[in-house]
Amino acid sequence: MRVHLSGDLEAGQFANLLLNLGNGNHPICGEPGSISIQQFGSTVTTTEAHINAVFPHFAINCSYPEWLAERAILAPLNDRVASINKQMIEMMPGNSTTFMSIDSTLVEEETVHYPIEFLNSVDVAGLPSHRLTIKIGMPVKIMRSLTPPRIMNGTRCIVTKISQNTVIVRIASGPYKG
């Protein structure tokens, strides 16, 4: 894991805590294998507070692609990610566009056993959701690159144009930024 240090004292302390944790030098809290999360920074009690901590003054700063590309909220479960994404999309100015995947079975006779509605409802870790809602100016991450080496899996981009079947993005990080 990389921690970007930009002269921020708390980031340096966090980096040292992570290093100690990885080396097994962090004090154990309670049972073996447990640590105290409070030692790793401040805690928030609501999703809104979490969004405001990571994206302060979002309404003003969301028009700066570099500012957006420097920030991310990580969550362990897809439903939590979907909830945070929905809130963030609603906070961004402009109209949203929703794209939906085309789901089908490989064997046509299996359609009886796996209705399209069921396939659309399945949310599997590591696969994108059936429904993708985006706005112009929104940061996105490339899940599967079809044009390496310039755009790799995980490349962060900013949506610049949306048409009926195409999304145009600008690379926001890495050596091919811009």
Give the per-residue pLDDT at 99: 92
Q: Is pLDDT above 70 for 1?
A: no
Is 83:73 a contact under the CB 8 Å cutoff? Answer: no
First-to-final CA distance of the chain: 25
Mean pLDDT computed over 83-101:
92
Give domain limits for the chain.
Answer: 8-43, 47-171
Q: Is pLDDT above 70 for 22?
A: yes
* pLDDT digit string, tens, across residues 41-83: 677 889 999 999 999 999 899 888 888 888 888 888 878 888 9
Give the per-residue pLDDT at 88: 92
Mean pLDDT computed over 109-123:
80
pTM, 2 dp? 0.70
Most confidently modeled range among 6-15, 23-32, 74-83, 154-163: 154-163
Six-digit token string for 12: 């340096």
Give the per-residue pLDDT at 25: 74
Q: Is pLDDT above 60 for 5?
A: no
Q: Hey, which residues does 157 pair with through a beta bridge?
A: 140, 171
Q: Is pLDDT above 80 for 27?
A: no
Residues 6+ apart with CB under 8 A from 173: 69, 155, 156
Is 7:13 a contact under the CB 8 Å cutoff? Answer: no
Give the per-residue pLDDT at 105: 72
